[in-house]
Chains A and B, each alone.
Chain A
């Protein structure tokens, strides 16, 4: 069973749950931000997109203080799989569970569009269904998605293989035009050193059905379903 955290202002929480259920047959439960424990039987945690607590301060800055984040942190520390999508990625960065920060888009405007990302590392529990270098077509929709890290830190992330996804064109080539928000080194998703926590700006849950635009998101959600297990 997956836990989808529901903050006030979460918008893609139900969508994430539907995608897991209807496309992959995986059970997911919405878990309220005021709860202090994850439900028993949680095999993986997803932090969904949206504007947690309105995001009137810095995106994700309030959510990191919510009661459920303590439980999410313990779950991650024990090796459980935690995936942050869009606002969830911002929350994980604010909470220090992922490196880097997400700043205002370079173009300053909110961007909703279909983009491509290249899978930099194919590994459990988030990208095991991908081939290394595989290009995925996914939607983005955010105003604050420009990944930033200090040069030394970025170098360390590159060396440690923590860059999970990079913006690219349909052929897998990086270019300024293919980067929707000005992210440093075209970073679209990163993972933690242990590899069990990942964040990404694109929305795999909105690429889970051909009728609504595509199914490439199932590569990521499907990998999670394959690889998630209860931490010891």
Chain B
């Protein structure tokens, strides 16, 4: 059928090379009733890759809550678009919707850190603006091996340059994120990019090729040979020794084209000329056209000779599978072709009609006058194989969870421990990272990087104020997930929501990026299933439905998997932006109140790891009902002006959280008295969840409010002076240090290691 230049013989052996299983090959023969052409084989291999089809994860993801608890249409918190589209959407009032998603770009970033991370940012932006939203805030969760190692430093620098280089240039602020280090990421770093966009709720666009006869337009950058099989070979297989040879499968980003594409797309979307839009992301032209046709129950007829090409002599196979960046597929209303082209030409971008929507449910692709692809849409897009893969509880899990506190030597030098914790790469200041990101462009950044959550003001596209703001935070503690995947996932949702609540915002919904090892290993699949179970429980209990997400499997090198890392990003809404809380003491003379309960919990803590060299035990328990009461209380007391400062207690425990509150911008000390009653290291450095430090002028009123809300609260100290003093009572101290001294340790943690290399 094909008249392409010499193409390999299509058979089972070639299918296997494409990452397809024998059973999947049989299925293809069954669907087509014949042997596929070479481009057709390529299409099946990418569409049925783990990355595009979620074949190993679907059965589990289906259990997640995707609807708000109560949603009379149109009210705040209504889920307008759930998982399955480019990104999810939730109503935030004033006729607006927040659109957001997080996505992984792990393997490309390990192979080529700068371009890998840059194109990760570019991809998530396209997912958001393809829905008609203007991207207003980016966050990133990035994880590396030990930062003392030169290779990891190279990867960190590369990834930060990639995120900054792309985000800064494209004009979308990077307002927060997390940067952590652990040996499990040495051979497989994680780069998870999150973006939040804003759209008038009645102008949300979907990726659908509706309306038989409507033109299909290709817009944006030209197609080259970059990134072919990024989805199937790079993202859907483990790393081994030949990783370097995969460099050609990484794409190259062009933020300038993306910036023009954003403006041109938003303009043409508002003109009423379009029916559907989709990013050409993983698996490029193939994935976008199949998904768009499948959602609308239509087919598409396409002529590859019309596709703008950067390289000469590209074959149908290459054109269909290229992952060249900054390209979108549009379906316009018939007759609107010219007006679409006009807008794009104003921005000096290609906009070419490459095909038409058909009514027969088939994808027909022509090239040089011959039909090179002719396959039914739905069986490829929707009937991808689904696997309920075998699961097995890891044999060593009991060993991991074993921790006899009695055998752990007590802390004899609390101040030394605090200093060591503040100097830890994963706890020290990340200013070195975020100073390289433009966090201010668009002019809405109320709280930028360095706090618990980012907070951005919500304005309509024309500048009209709403008085509201959106908060967002990305979180996961992989050590906890390794010790107990279900508990770790619950804690990730709880912490992300708590961080959002610390600004005064009410958590609305979440997105997640599930980073795991090889799902064909039963232990990994068990960890995955447990994590998803935990995510679902926590999302239900906290009223934060899952509106989008991404699964990244095969995060392992030479057989060593990463720790389970279900990164969670919660987005919340603050009704009155003028009343928000900051995460540092805003003044001296305020009373400090600890909300939540401190239990004797040291399992999986930073203290246990740094001071005793152990990663063991059960992670701290999460009481989801108490967590929800705490978060609702926070929203109330911030809104009423009672609490101008709130900071989540997390890694490093209470002592580290207190120190962080003292640091910036001008050092302000604090004197704190804590009632003993448990091991000192648990009191100071234990990581019991559901705790927030707040400062207030009226502690009595706050304690009364907390009591009324059923939240444990204790008045523990006063802000002021230049020292951090923590003891059992006034006049006695476990820790008594100059804030400036602690701040310098904390702020040097990362730069000092990068300079020493």
User: Which A residues have a C-beta under 8 Å from some C-beta of B?
Assistant: 8-12, 14-15, 17-19, 21-22, 34, 49-51, 53-56, 109-113, 139, 141, 143, 203, 205-206, 208-209, 211-213
The closest CB in chain A to the CB of B431 belongs to A113
Query: B104 to nearest A CB, angstroms?
Result: 24
Chain A residues within an 8 Å CB radius of B677: none
Chain B residues within an 8 Å CB radius of A19: 443
Q: List 24 A-B contacts (CB under 8 A).
A: A8-B260, A8-B348, A9-B256, A11-B171, A14-B442, A15-B441, A19-B443, A51-B169, A51-B259, A56-B256, A109-B435, A110-B165, A110-B436, A112-B168, A112-B438, A112-B439, A112-B440, A141-B439, A206-B443, A209-B443, A211-B457, A211-B577, A212-B440, A212-B445
Given A8-B348, A112-B438, A212-B445, A54 and B254 touching (CB < 8 A)? yes
- The answer for the CA separation of A53 and B254 in the assembled complex, in Å, is 11
0 or 1 for each of B415-451: is its CB under 8 Å from A? (1 = yes): 0000000000000000000111111111111100000
Can you name 18 extra interface pairs (CB under 8 A) apart from A9-B169, A15-B443, A54-B169? A8-B259, A8-B347, A10-B171, A11-B441, A12-B171, A15-B442, A51-B169, A54-B255, A109-B436, A110-B437, A110-B438, A112-B168, A112-B439, A112-B440, A113-B435, A139-B440, A141-B168, A212-B445
Query: B580 to nearest A CB, angstroms?
Result: 9
Q: Is B463 an interface residue (CB 8 A)?
A: yes
Contact A21 B463 (CB under 8 A): yes
Given A15-B442, A213-B440, A110 and B168 touching (CB < 8 A)? yes
- The answer for the CA separation of A211 and B299 in the assembled complex, in Å, is 50
Query: A90 to nearest B CB, angstroms?
Result: 14
Contact B440 A203 (CB under 8 A): yes
Query: B755 to nearest A CB, angstroms?
Result: 12
Q: Is B730 an interface residue (CB 8 A)?
A: no
4 shortest A-B CB distances, which residue pairs? Answer: A54-B256, A11-B171, A15-B443, A141-B438
Query: A32 to nearest B CB, angstroms?
Result: 8
Given A206-B443, A212-B457, A112 and B256 touching (CB < 8 A)? no
Q: Is B122 an interface residue (CB 8 A)?
A: no
- The answer for the CA separation of A179 and B625 in the assembled complex, in Å, is 50
Given A8-B260, A9-B260, A54-B255, A211 and B578 touching (CB < 8 A)? yes
Contact of A18 among B171, B346, B443, B578 (CB under 8 A): B443
Chain B residues within an 8 Å CB radius of A53: 256
Query: A136 to nearest B CB, angstroms?
Result: 16
Given A51-B255, A211-B446, A111 and B440 touching (CB < 8 A)? no
The closest CB in chain A to the CB of B461 belongs to A14
Query: B222 to nearest A CB, angstroms?
Result: 15
Given A8-B260, A112-B435, A211-B577, A18 and B463 touching (CB < 8 A)? yes
How many interface residues does chain B have, given as a range?
Answer: 20 to 34
User: Which B residues have a C-beta under 8 Å from some C-beta of A?
Assistant: 164-165, 168-171, 254-257, 259-260, 346-348, 434-446, 457, 459, 463, 465, 577-578
Query: A211 to nearest B CB, angstroms?
Result: 6
Chain A residues within an 8 Å CB radius of B169: 9, 11, 51, 54-55
The closest CB in chain A to the CB of B432 belongs to A109
The closest CB in chain A to the CB of B264 belongs to A8
Query: A216 to nearest B CB, angstroms?
Result: 14
Chain B residues within an 8 Å CB radius of A209: 443
Chain B residues within an 8 Å CB radius of A14: 442, 463
Chain A residues within an 8 Å CB radius of B439: 112, 141
Contact of B440 among A51, A110, A206 (CB under 8 A): A206
Contact of A110 among B164, B254, B346 (CB under 8 A): B164
- The answer for the CA separation of A50 and B169 in the assembled complex, in Å, is 7
The closest CB in chain A to the CB of B254 belongs to A54
Chain A residues within an 8 Å CB radius of B260: 8-9
Which has the most chain B C-beta neighbours within 10 Å: A141, A208, A209?
A: A141
- The answer for the CA separation of A172 and B171 in the assembled complex, in Å, is 31
Query: B506 to nearest A CB, angstroms?
Result: 19
Contact A12 B441 (CB under 8 A): yes
- The answer for the CA separation of A12 and B457 in the assembled complex, in Å, is 16
Chain A residues within an 8 Å CB radius of B435: 109, 111-113
Query: A178 to nearest B CB, angstroms?
Result: 15
Chain B residues within an 8 Å CB radius of A203: 440
Contact B168 A212 (CB under 8 A): no
Chain B residues within an 8 Å CB radius of A21: 463
Query: B429 to nearest A CB, angstroms?
Result: 13
- The answer for the CA separation of A54 and B437 in the assembled complex, in Å, is 17
Contact A51 B256 (CB under 8 A): yes
Query: B135 to nearest A CB, angstroms?
Result: 12
Query: B336 to nearest A CB, angstroms?
Result: 22
Given A8-B347, A8-B348, A51-B256, A22 and B440 touching (CB < 8 A)? no
- The answer for the CA separation of A75 and B348 in the assembled complex, in Å, is 27
Chain A residues within an 8 Å CB radius of B347: 8
- The answer for the CA separation of A19 and B578 in the assembled complex, in Å, is 18
- The answer for the CA separation of A17 and B463 in the assembled complex, in Å, is 10
Query: A214 to nearest B CB, angstroms?
Result: 11
- The answer for the CA separation of A211 and B577 in the assembled complex, in Å, is 8
- The answer for the CA separation of A139 and B435 in the assembled complex, in Å, is 11
Query: B464 to nearest A CB, angstroms?
Result: 10
The closest CB in chain A to the CB of B465 belongs to A22
- The answer for the CA separation of A56 and B444 in the assembled complex, in Å, is 27
The closest CB in chain B to the CB of A141 belongs to B438
- The answer for the CA separation of A11 and B440 in the assembled complex, in Å, is 11
The closest CB in chain B to the CB of A50 belongs to B171
Chain A residues within an 8 Å CB radius of B164: 110
The closest CB in chain B to the CB of A11 belongs to B171
Which has the most chain B C-beta neighbours within 10 Å: A9, A12, A53, A209?
A: A9
- The answer for the CA separation of A23 and B446 in the assembled complex, in Å, is 16
- The answer for the CA separation of A84 and B75 in the assembled complex, in Å, is 44
Contact A112 B437 (CB under 8 A): yes
The closest CB in chain B to the CB of A18 belongs to B463
Chain B residues within an 8 Å CB radius of A113: 435
- The answer for the CA separation of A213 and B577 in the assembled complex, in Å, is 13
Chain A residues within an 8 Å CB radius of B578: 211
Chain A residues within an 8 Å CB radius of B436: 109-112
- The answer for the CA separation of A53 and B347 in the assembled complex, in Å, is 11
Query: A9 to nearest B CB, angstroms?
Result: 5
- The answer for the CA separation of A56 and B252 in the assembled complex, in Å, is 14
Contact B256 A8 (CB under 8 A): yes
- The answer for the CA separation of A211 and B438 in the assembled complex, in Å, is 18
Chain B residues within an 8 Å CB radius of A143: 168
